[in-house]
Amino acid sequence: MNFKEEQKKRIQKVEEILECYLPKEQGYQKTVMEAMNYSVRAGGKRLRPILMLETYRLFGGEGNEIEPFMAAMEMIHTYSLVHDDLPAMDNDSYRRGKKTTHIVYGHAMGILAGDALLNYAFQITGAAYHMLKEREVTGEIFLRQMEQILQAQGILAEKAGIYGMLGGQVVDVEATEKQSKLTEEQLQFIYRLKTGALIEGAMMIGAVMAGASKEEVAIVEQIAGKVGVAFQIQDDILDLISTAEVLGKPILSDEKNHKVTYVSLKGMVYSKEQVEQLSKEAIYLLEDLEEKQNRNNPFLRELLLWLIDREK
């Protein structure tokens, strides 16, 4: 398997799905739709929807009811970036080489476009229900699939909210504002929530929508949690050892912003060991899961390894 090729294909597929779910730019309120679409189209690795789709496939999922959830997850990720970039938060004017949303559309519209993306994410998950209705699914299957949708919506809200990503942002913002010293426990809390929670949510929704059991979903959550934290520690490492050319963004930004990172707290050697350890544990759990249900997804395995070992 040519991983890079396969990854590219997935990114393209996600972007096609996103286009289907983005709002039409029309009506008196057109500007907010433009701002939403500008933000979502700004690019990125599309990690969360890809992870969702690949986990869905791992559990034998074949339908397209997963697609509104893939789009919703990416919109939630995007809203969090739009609000993070606001002057009252990180005050960033550029992201991925493009002007941030509030720079292009103004500060008020930046707030509203973020709100709109979060709200729209929940709105489009309803499409999964309408797909069932249109296909005239009935009886037990209809019942089971409606429950899957309700459960997936619940996971989305939980992992995006105060017990998930947003909770991590809050602790991060407060620590940065107060320039407070963090303990390893607090830093892991931030990583687990701010970065890990949406990755957990993405993979869990993939599993739930494919009909995975409660136990399987719990293991998927564990895998994703480990991947999320390792991903973030690797980010800290790359900010120190990579070059701006490879990363596509300025390096040493954590140091400049006086940000506590895993590396500044625990040192480079320990941080690299942590990434290695978490990565091993995640792959071990995944292989065990694959074995038990006699089904595997080599691309997902490669993707998890890449996420953790990536050089950018």
Return residues touching a copy of itself (CB under 8 A): 23, 27-29, 31-33, 36, 79, 83, 86-89, 106-112, 114-116, 118-120, 122-123, 126, 129, 142-143, 146-147, 149-150, 153-154, 157-158, 160-162, 166-171, 173-174, 177, 186, 189, 193
Query: How would you write 8-77 as a 3-class SS string?
Result: HHHHHHHHHHHHHHCCCCCCCCHHHHHHHHHHHCCCCCCHHHHHHHHHHHHCCCCCCCHHHHHHHHHHHH
Distance CA(69)–CA(124), nearest Å, equals: 8
What is the nearest approach in angstroms of a copy of itself to the Cβ of residue 183? 10
What is the nearest approach in angstroms of a copy of itself to the Cβ of residue 281? 24
**Phi, psi for residue 98 in degrees, rounded to 5:** -115, 155
Nearer to a copy of itself, 108 or 269 (CB): 108
Nearer to a copy of itself, 112 or 202 (CB): 112
CA-to-CA dists, residue 75 to 96, 137, 157, angstroms: 17, 28, 13
Length of the chain: 312
- Token output for 34: 């433009």
Nearer to a copy of itself, 68 or 206 (CB): 68
What is the nearest approach in angstroms of a copy of itself to the Cβ of residue 192? 11
Nearer to a copy of itself, 149 or 289 (CB): 149
Nearer to a copy of itself, 166 or 303 (CB): 166
Nearer to a copy of itself, 55 or 148 (CB): 148
DSSP structural state of residue 196: I
End-to-end CA distance of the chain: 21
Ramachandran assignment for 221, one of left (phi > 0), alpha (psi -120 to 50 degrees), beta (any other): alpha
What is the nearest approach in angstroms of a copy of itself to the Cβ of residue 26? 11
What is the nearest approach in angstroms of a copy of itself to the Cβ of residue 70? 17
What is the nearest approach in angstroms of a copy of itself to the Cβ of residue 243? 31
What is the nearest approach in angstroms of a copy of itself to the Cβ of residue 32? 4
DSSP structural state of residue 86: S
Other C-beta atoms lying within 10 Å of the C-beta of residue 6? 14
Nearer to a copy of itself, 113 or 237 (CB): 113
Distance CA(165)–CA(75), nearest Å, equals: 13
